[in-house]
Amino acid sequence: MQQVTFNEQKINVGDTIAVHQEILEGSKKRVQVFEGIVIAIKGAGTGKSLTVRKVASNNIGVEKIYPLNLPDIKKIEIKRRGDVRRAKLYYLRDRVGKAATRIKEKSAFNQAAPKA
């Protein structure tokens, strides 16, 4: 499984993340959030990049490729940890609707319920 580190956060393929990117429109700056599933991690060193996919309105798939050293990326939030067995999740491109975002969530091993 491929893994990348961004500000001491470990991001894996299959994770659902929200990328906060600063957009410059004319003279105004704003932060745009793109939330989706990491389907691929490519490159090495400073050329490493994430491919993030989300299903927008009318079941249209949108993919964005983010280089990790892009200065416009202000923050990456990890919403869910995915439990996958592949390094590239390109098979999600062929899925339609809710099946395109269905990935098993990784169970937390160290959060056992206290015994009473």
- Measured in whole angstroms, the distance separating CA 44 from the mean position of its chain's CA atoms is 18
Q: Which of 31, 2, 5 is nearest to 18 (CA)?
A: 31
What are the pLDDT digits (tens) for 22-48? 999 999 999 999 999 999 999 888 889
What are the pLDDT digits (tens) for 93-102? 888 877 877 8
What are the pLDDT digits (tens) for 82-116? 888 889 999 888 888 778 778 888 776 545 555 55
- Domains of the chain, earliest start first: 3-101 (2.30.30.790)
